[in-house]
Structure 1
Amino acid sequence: MIQLIGLKKGLDLSIREKLSTRKSHYEYYLKNLLEFCAEAVIISTCNRTEIYFNCERYDDTIVHNIFKVFGWDNDLKEYTFHSKGHDVIKHLMEVVSGFHSKILGEDQILGQVKEAYSYSLKESAVSAELHRLFQEAITCGKEFRTEARMYDIPVSSSSIVVNYGLQHGIKNFMVIGYGEIGSLAVKYLLSSNVSKVYIVVRDPKKIVDLHDKRVHIIGFKDKNEIIEEVECIISCTSAPHYVIKREDIPKEKKLLIFDLAVPRDVEESLAKYPNIELLDIDTISKIDDKNKKLRAERMDSCRGIIKNHIDAYEEWRKLREITPYIKKLKMVSAEVSKDRINTFIHKSSSKNHQELAKKLIKSTSDFYINRAIETLKEAKLEGSEEQCLRIIEKIFRIN
């Protein structure tokens, strides 16, 4: 049974960060989830933590076990929801299409879902229903973005913070972290009229794809010396601790700081200082961009795509239930074929080949026709011949 444990909508960042996950621990998480689940996929972003899993049981014990795997406080269960079956399928299709993102229609979630699925696939944590569900969902997300022409109006937390900074006349930026969000922020910055972009990473030598003279790549140990030179910091690491503290900022230094991380990168007390404007991911998502209404209209007009992919998956799942019977039918067919082939091999040397082939082909046909006739007779005596007759007509294409 496909199930999902996720975060309820509208939760404060202080709660979400307590229910976040560490990507460096995914291997450990999946290994332990597979102790009591058949499959599992972990999606963790700044807005959501969602655990998709396939398990026969659906009760509080499952929730308790999952909380234990992630080391979450049981008192936080009230902030989560637990779904199964069709509700999970519908939710994931809407997620990949951007309906559940804090920034409506943002263009990063599909990539994040693909990354989560790919990691579980690499760790052999998906093999059946979740495997097919995520394939269908990713296809849905791609089709949705194409049909809704979301590429005309791309939006993400990275694009919003860069535009906000540029609108305030900022020219010198520092980007801390160069993962998906950080690299996207740098891309937007370099496509604009900025003077300098400092990129802070643990190992500067690993970034070899940037050759713009405005870019300066530095290590964490050097960032505090450079803060004096910038007007804006965009922080988006996956660190479990603060990477910017009060003592890191020079006194009276005027600074705009965007904290795109969950858990947070920046010490919250910095927001109290009049010379510092600190915006976390929740505040950023409330910044109204001019294309929000257009995205909503386009997305609503394409909801039919989501329904089509939900139906396609549900159809696959229903047909999967008869797979054991299909295997048995093929086994019967193989036995009948093997019996006729053996007969042909044994008698072909002493009989006319054409006559022998005719007899064996008729014998094979008679095997199935006679079984159909016997079944129809049994159904007649049981009073269910009409349904049986319709099935036989479909199988043998009787007009």
Structure 2
Amino acid sequence: MIQLIGLKHDVKIGIREKLSIIPKHQEKCLKALLNICEEAVILSTCNRTEIYFKSKDENIISKIFEALNWDKTLIKCVFNYKEEKAIQHLMEVVCGFDSLLLGEDQILGQVRDAYEAVKASKTTQKELQRLFEKAIACGKKFRTKSKIGDIPVSSSSMVVKQAMGRGHKNFMILGYGAVGELTSKYILEGEIDLLYIAVRDIQKVNIEDPRVKIIPFKDIHKYYKEVDCVISCTSAPHNVVHLKELPNKYLLLFDLAVPRDIEEIVSENPLYEVYDIDKLGDIHDDNYKRRECSMKNNRYIVDEAIKEYIEWKTIKEISSLIIRIKHNGEDVCKERLDTFKHKKETKDNEKLAEMLLKSTSNAYINRAIEVLKEEHLKGRSKECVEIISRIF
């Protein structure tokens, strides 16, 4: 049975931090899950933690919390979907229907990365493998057909637009992973004066733009006074922006990380305006209605993908019977072919072929008649007649 546990939408960031799985811990967590599940995939982003898994155990949530060393008192903060509902949820997630920023374009890559991670560790088998491949294909098709990419939206684009709309021209980005790189792209498309990018290893980032300065992460406190806006998006398991290190001036700060990068106490100081992931939804977006309309008109792509996967999964349940039928057919064919080879020199080939073809036909027709008689005597002929009528 395919199942899913994920964080409820109304769970505050303080709780989400406790149930997040940062990249460097994912492999260890996957191994722990495989002790209690047949297959597992972890999808962990700045705004969601979801675990897709296959298990017959309908009361497995407590075991998952134990395996991941999560506080069991927080079980009330997660939902548990099974079978079709879990399948539907993933298809909606990959197309951006379940995102805080409707239709945001980063989630497809995040789902693909989650799947690639488990492919390397071999924690998926046929059902989850097929599900994620179908979901990724669905996400690509949805973006192509809906042209949602023509109405760009991401946490990065939203915060940069908000900052630039206020006239800020001096920026600092903390972290240069996928989100940091995308954020810098949006910033450099605008009319800015300066962009600091703070990284652990300055040799790993090379941007040929006179407005960009790469700085060591350990020195970020030295440059705060030179910027108007700080955008933090690291994968650190702890705070990296501390109140005591901030300058005595107004700063606009965006925290796109989970766990949070910015100390909670910073938002209590009137000098600093702080937006974390929970507050991003408050930022007005003029493109929302356009995205909503485009996504609604192309919802059928999601429904088709769900239907196709469920049909595949249902047919898979009788795959062993299908294989047996094929093997029986091969046996019947081989037996007649051997007869033809042995008798073709001594018999009239035309009559021999007619006899063998009729024998092949009778092998199935006679068996169908026998089954029909047996089912009729048991009072179950109606469905049997319907099936045999469709075959013949």
Shorter-chain TM band: over 0.9
**Of 71, 74, 78, which residue of structure 2 is paired with 1:73?**
71
Corresponding residue of 2:228 = 231
**Of 62, 68, 71, which residue of structure 2 is paired with 1:64?**
62
**Of 369, 373, 380, which residue of structure 1 is paired with 2:376?**
380
SS at match of 2:252: strand
Corresponding residue of 2:260 = 264
**Where in structure 2 are the equivalents of 1:1-399 lying within 5 Å?**
1-59=1-59, 62-208=60-206, 210-250=207-247, 252-348=248-344, 350-351=346-347, 353-396=349-392
- Residue by residue, what CA displacement relative to the aligned partner does 1:58-80 show, whole Å, maximum 9, x if unpaired? 11xx1122112222111111111
State the TM-score, normalized to the length of structure 2. 0.94
SS at match of 2:223: helix
How much has 1:90 moved relative to structure 2?
1.7
Report if aligned partners of 1:177, 1:237 keep a CA contact under 8 Å in 2.
yes
> Structure 1: which amino acid aligns with 2:326?
K
> Structure 2: which amino acid aligns with 1:363?
S
State the identity as a percent.
Answer: 49
Distance 1:337 1:26 in 2: 52
How much has 1:332 moved relative to structure 2?
1.1
Report if aligned partners of 1:157, 1:285 keep a CA contact under 8 Å in 2.
no
Distance 2:245 2:69 in 1: 31
| Comparing 382-391 and 214-223, the one that deviates more | 382-391
Distance 1:104 1:308 in 2: 20
How much has 1:350 moved relative to structure 2?
4.7
> Structure 2: which amino acid aligns with 1:241?
H
State the TM-score, normalized to the length of structure 1. 0.92
Gap change, CA 1:216 and 1:352, over 3 Å in 2 = farther
Report if aligned partners of 2:32, 2:68 keep a CA contact under 8 Å in 1.
no
Distance 2:349 2:234 in 1: 76
SS at match of 2:50: strand
Report if aligned partners of 1:234, 1:260 keep a CA contact under 8 Å in 2.
yes
Distance 1:204 1:348 in 2: 81
Distance 1:136 1:286 in 2: 33
- Residue by residue, what CA displacement relative to the aligned partner does 1:40-60 show, whole Å, maximum 9, x if unpaired? 11111122111110001111x
Distance 1:389 1:241 in 2: 67
> Structure 1: which amino acid aligns with 2:372?
L
SS at match of 1:165: helix
| Comparing 199-208 and 44-53, the one that deviates more | 199-208
Number of residues of Structure 1 aligned to a counterpart in Structure 2: 392
How much has 1:353 moved relative to structure 2?
5.0
